[in-house]
Amino acid sequence: MAMLEVKNLSKSFGNLKVLEDINMTVEKGEVVAVIGPSGSGKSTLLRCINQLEKAGGGEIKVCGTDMLLKNDSGKTVYADSKTLREIRLKTGLVFQNFNLFPHMTVLRNITEAPVCVLKKNKQEAQAKAMELLRKMGLETKAKSYPCELSGGQQQRVSIARALALNPEILFFDEPTSALDPELTGEILKVIKELAAEGMTMVIVTHEMAFARDVADKVVFMEGGYIVEQGAPEQLFGDSASDRVKQFLQRFNN
């Protein structure tokens, strides 16, 4: 089953067209890397899918449920708020700059949404959080505050926080871009482990080697369009597009 279907999606900020005719599909268990120059609309695409920006037009379907659709008179509309909420819980988003809650301990950062939003019992949520922290190699940091952690550790907490809601599909917006180069490895490793477990993921990244290694599909964006999408071998090997070749050249040098 397709976990994400985006059709003909568009988005403008005032007169500035940021997304145009975006079409993509993500199957269950698939890892999709989104690459492209800065300002090409990668974040905006993720933000539209995660309901942080209002899309201009097109269709979005998450886990088979219509989120953005055409109504009977052909107008683009959002689903009702109850459906949007349900979809929201099926998608998780990991931010470039973590956005952890600074006033809460690491453990509380992870349990707050399961307890307050999913109304899970506190012990259960804490047990699950500890399990996630162990997986992230952070079981000793449960009682720390985010400010006491390194960037890499904070990002791992924010991944655990997103996973605590058992999302069907997880989005990453440049998860390593705010980190010192020596810390990116630990995040990429966690994402690889998630991929091995069959997690469906869409990852915006500038780590080309990583994208090539872990992605089942690569999407190249520029100027608000998807210029090319396909298997990593195709894009990184012998892309049909000069723009893609040019862009990748810069990373090889």
Partner 1 sequence: MTSEQITTLFGLMLRYTVPTLKIFGFTLLYSIPLGMIVALLKMCRFKPVSWLTNVYILIMRGTPLLLQLIVAQYSVPYILQSSLCPGFLRSLLENVDIRSDSYIFNMMLIAFVLNYAAYFAEIFRGGIEAIPKGQYEAAGSLGFSKLQTFFRIILPQVVKRVVPASSNEIITLIKDTSLASAIPYMEIMYIAKKQVPTYASLMPLFIAGIFYFVFATVLTLLFSFIEKKLDYYK
Name the amino acid, one letter, at 221: M
Q: Which residues contact 132 (CB under 8 A, 6 or more apart)?
A: 110, 160, 163, 164
Alpha-carbon span 12 to 236, nearest angstrom = 30
CA-wise closest residue to 99 among 169, 26, 31, 50: 50
Alpha-carbon span 49 to 33, nearest angstrom = 15
Using an 8 Å Cβ cutoff, are 220 and 235 in contact? yes
Alpha-carbon span 62 to 171, nearest angstrom = 12
Candidates 13-21, 25-33, 157-165, 243-251 — which segment interacts with ligand ADP by CB under 6 A? Answer: 13-21
Residue nearest Mg ion, Cβ-based: 43
Diameter over CA atoms, the chain: 56
Say which entry of ligand ADP, Mg ion, partner 1, none residue 18 contacts (CB below 5 to 8 A, set by partner kind).
ligand ADP
Using an 8 Å Cβ cutoff, are 135 and 196 in contact? no
Token code pair at residue 55: 């899309």
Per CB under 8 A, 91 contacts partner 1? yes
Per CB under 8 A, 50 contacts partner 1? yes
Candidates 38-46, 117-125, 220-228, 241-249 — which segment interacts with Mg ion by CB under 5 A? Answer: 38-46
Nearest residue (CB) to partner 1, 27 versus 86: 86
Per CB under 6 A, 42 contacts ligand ADP? yes
Q: Work out how close the CB of 143 gets to ligand ADP at its nearest, in angstroms, rounded to a whole number.
A: 35
Q: Work out how close the CB of 162 gets to partner 1 at its nearest, in angstroms, rounded to a whole number.
A: 8
CA-wise closest residue to 60 among 49, 47, 74, 45: 49
Among residues 41, 146, 152, 232, the one that binds partner 1 under rule CB under 8 A: 146
Phi, psi at 130, each rounded to 5°: -65, -40
Per CB under 8 A, 212 contacts partner 1? no
Among residues 31, 35, 43, 160, the one that binds Mg ion under rule CB under 5 A: 43
User: For residue 6, what are the β-bridge partners?
Assistant: 24, 60
Candidates 22-30, 36-44, 122-130, 149-157 — which segment interacts with Mg ion by CB under 5 A? Answer: 36-44
Number of residues that bind partner 1 (CB under 8 A): 28
Among residues 8, 21, 29, 39, the one that binds ligand ADP under rule CB under 6 A: 39
| Chain contacts with partner 1 (rule: CB under 8 A) | 50-52, 85, 88-89, 91-93, 95, 97, 99-103, 112-113, 116-118, 145-147, 158, 161-162, 165
